[in-house]
Amino acid sequence: MKNSNAMNQVYYKNGDLMLILGDSVDVMKNIDAESVDMIFADPPYFLSNGGITCSSGAMVSVNKAKWDMGKTVEQMHEFNMLWISECKRILKPNGTIWISGTFHNIYSCGLALQLQGFRLLNNITWYKRNAPPNLSCRYFTHSTETVLWAKKSEKAKHYFNYELMKEINDNKQMRDVWEIPAINKKEKKHGEFPTQKPLALLERIILASTREGDLVLDPFNGSGTTGIAAIKNNRKYIGIDNEKDYLDLTIRRYENISEILQSV
């Protein structure tokens, strides 16, 4: 990494896992160009607008935190263009990026990728059979999220572990609809994060698009699931977050990684 200012400090470093406290865009500006093999990003959905949802059978607020407060369409797209631009700069020439989201933000992310010269490879539909019900009964129940996979440029020679994906799919070509349950309580034993992804999802993504020893970066670290999946599979990891509590949660999960792996 380049020299960083006081706001963008290494918060925790242990083995191949590094956590950085700071704004994701500012931090990425201090990362060397073309130094990262793969990026996974689960950016804010900007859904914190006072509404309600269902969690564990109970009615709860959709409000998550200040970082998820609603923005105009224009503000949201400007934000996506900004962080995706930095992702492109730090990705290696043959590196790839994965972006997870719902319809509230994912279309803006897809457009931002295309405007900045990325080549979309797949539009993965993640199907959650155990998704919570729709309390309003005014539209279809949300049970999917979209995960976009893109390479850095049209001519880039990205890595895809086709044979492994086929092997774990009963020796059949893996399709772009993945049925993976929503996260269970055991994976939240060390603390709560509102948009935490299941380890199985991140592990599949990492195994599909990286080799052992590759560097994986997550600009919106959250609970650190990307890091747990990376370390489990012998990859290096950099996680960035501007919330100290989330980095502390990641550290607790990392320091109890053997326990976490036994629970999933």
Architecture of the 9-262 domain = 3-Layer(aba) Sandwich (3.40)
**pLDDT value of residue 33:** 98
pLDDT in tens, 146-161: 999 999 999 999 999 9
pLDDT higher at 98 or 182:
98
**pLDDT value of residue 190:** 79
Whether residue 144 contacts residue 128, with contact meaning beta carbons closer than 8 Å, is answered with: yes
Angle at 134 between CA 130 and CA 139, to 5 degrees: 120
Residue 18 pLDDT exceeds 60: yes
* Residue at token pair 């990728």: 113
Average pLDDT of span 206-235: 97
Average pLDDT of span 168-186: 93
pLDDT averaged over the chain?
89
Whether residue 196 contacts residue 221, with contact meaning beta carbons closer than 8 Å, is answered with: no
**pLDDT value of residue 263:** 66
Which segment of 4-13, 166-175, 240-249 scores lowest on mean pLDDT? Answer: 4-13
- DSSP-assigned letter for residue 66: G
**pLDDT value of residue 115:** 98
- Strand, coil or helix: 43: coil
Query: How far is it, in rounded angstroms, from Cα 138 to Cα 153?
Result: 41
Average pLDDT of span 71-83: 94
pLDDT in tens, 92-127: 999 999 999 999 999 999 999 999 999 999 999 999
- What backbone torsions phi and psi does residue 122 show, to the nearest 5 degrees? -150, 150
**pLDDT value of residue 9:** 84
Residue type, 201: L
Report the predicted TM-score, pTM, of the whole model to 2 decimal places.
0.88
Sign of CA dihedral 62, 63, 65, 70: positive
Query: How far is it, in rounded angstroms, from Cα 141 to Cα 183?
Result: 17
H helix intervals, the chain: 24-28, 73-90, 106-115, 162-167, 199-209, 225-232, 244-255, 257-262
Strands 17-21 and 236-241: parallel
Average pLDDT of span 202-219: 98
Strand order in the sheet with 91-101: 9-14, 17-21, 236-241, 215-218, 36-41, 91-101, 144-151, 119-127, 177-179
Selection from 224, 225, 227 nearest residue 216 by Cα: 227
Average pLDDT of span 175-185: 92
Residue type, 217: L
Length of the chain, in residues: 264
**pLDDT value of residue 69:** 59
Residue 64 pLDDT exceeds 70: no
**pLDDT value of residue 63:** 47
Residue 6 pLDDT exceeds 50: no
Residue 68 pLDDT exceeds 60: no
Q: Where are the domains of the chain?
A: 9-262
- Strand, coil or helix: 47: coil
